[in-house]
Amino acid sequence: MTSSARRLRAIIGLSGPTALWLTVTVVLPLAAMLVFSFLTVVPVGGREAAFTLKHYTDFFTRPLYLTNAWRSVRLGLEVTFFCALIGYPAAYILAKAIKGRWREALLLLIVLPFWSNSLVRTFSWTMVLSDNGLLARTIHGILPFAPSFDLLYTYPAIVIGLVQSYLPYMILTCYISLQAIEDSLTEAAYSLGASRFDVFRRVILPLSLPGLIAGSVLTFVPVLGAFMEPRILGGQQAIMLGTLIENQFTASFNWPLGAALGFIMLAIVLLIMGLFYPVLKKHISVN
């Protein structure tokens, strides 16, 4: 047996269990949902299902679905923007300005939310954002004549809850990229007469852009399909594409429509990624 054949067998042997696991846990469920999305009803309990495209055509003909799809995309973009606005500077300070145990302590605080249940974290915001919550009491304690402060069950409350949930992803991915930048590169730029802004624009930002992109993807994709935070914090503002899909599976038992909306959401994600990829690739190559 040749060395290439042995390497091929070793690769197959090592990757085989992983491929089998992904097939069983990812590919097969997705394939089943894809089949369901083209059926009139779920074929259980003696019900007969027929092939249909109605669920997909309804998305493009009913304003309800298009409106909430756009609201989900807008929510994903806004949450990603605020996560980047807060997370990138925080990651830069952690990577370049703080050393030693203080950095370790701050990184621990950033990772700490992952150790708690996301449902508990979301419900805790209801005690902060309500009219009688912690934030309102603090403001009224400082300014007794301040107007009523109630963000709960509003669109900003959804944004706040989601930013808090996904900000650690942005900070950690940006931190890894910024930490990998050698200090000698910035020192060389300063020695050549570059200003702080030029060093950031021409050296730090291009080299850390992969981390920023990774953090944006890790934030945007799950936020697009989020349903728990909008349902708890949004009230009447909670109707998003993710909540519509969740409702079809849990309340209406309309799995075909829920599956169709899920694959449409997947198509939206792929379309947005496809639109932004050439721009990002060009930007990276230019810098």
Q: Is residue 214 part of a domain?
A: yes
Q: Is residue 27 part of a domain?
A: no
Q: Is residue 218 part of a domain?
A: yes
Placement of tokens 């923007």 in the chain: 81
- DSSP string computed for 126-171: HHHHSTTSHHHHHHHHH-TTPPP---TTSHHHHHHHHHHHHHHHHH
Rounded Cα gap, residues 234 and 57, in angstroms = 28
Q: Is residue 223 part of a domain?
A: yes
- DSSP string computed for the chain: --HHHHHHHHHHHHHHHHHHHHIIIIIHHHHHHHHHTTBSS-S-TTPPP-B--HHHHHHHH-HHHHHHHHHHHHHHHHHHHHHHHHHHHHHHIIIII--HHHHHHHHHHHHGGGGS-HHHHHHHHHHHHSTTSHHHHHHHHH-TTPPP---TTSHHHHHHHHHHHHHHHHHHHHHHHHHTS-HHHHHHHHHTT--HHHHIIIIIHHHHHHHHHHHHHHHHHHHHT--HHHHHHHGGGG--HHHHHHHHHHTS--HHHHHHHHHHHHHHHHHHHHHHHHHHHHHHHH-
As a whole number, the mean pLDDT across the chain is: 85
Lowest mean pLDDT, pick from 112-121, 140-149, 172-181, 205-214: 140-149
Q: Is residue 32 part of a domain?
A: no
pLDDT value at position 57?
93
Rounded Cα gap, residues 87 and 95, in angstroms = 12
| pLDDT at residue 88 greater than cutoff 90 | yes
**Region 242-253: what's the mean pLDDT?**
87
> In CATH, what number is assigned to the domain containing residue 277?
1.10.3720.10
* 256 vs 11, higher pLDDT: 256
Nearest CA-CA partner of 154 in 249, 234, 222: 234
| pLDDT at residue 170 greater than cutoff 80 | yes
The predicted-structure confidence for 271-281, as pLDDT tens digits, reads as follows: 888 877 776 66
**Distance between terminal CA atoms of the chain?**
47
Helices 205-224 and 255-286: angle between axes, nearest 10 degrees: 170
Q: Which domain holds residue 77?
A: 62-286
Residue 193, Cα to own-chain centre: how many angstroms? 39
pLDDT value at position 238?
78
Q: What is the pTM of this model?
A: 0.85
**Region 73-99: what's the mean pLDDT?**
93
- What's the total number of domains in the chain? 1
Task: Give the model's confidence band at 158: pLDDT under 50 very low, under 70 low, under 90 confident, else very high.
Answer: very high
Q: Is residue 220 part of a domain?
A: yes
The predicted-structure confidence for 197-233, as pLDDT tens digits, reads as follows: 888 888 898 888 888 988 998 999 999 989 888 989 9
Task: Give the model's confidence band at 286: pLDDT under 50 very low, under 70 low, under 90 confident, else very high.
Answer: very low
Q: Is residue 16 part of a domain?
A: no
Q: Is residue 264 part of a domain?
A: yes
The predicted-structure confidence for 25-34, as pLDDT tens digits, reads as follows: 778 888 888 9
The predicted-structure confidence for 27-85, as pLDDT tens digits, reads as follows: 888 888 899 899 988 877 777 888 999 999 999 898 989 999 999 999 999 999 999 99
Rounded Cα gap, residues 115 and 108, in angstroms = 10
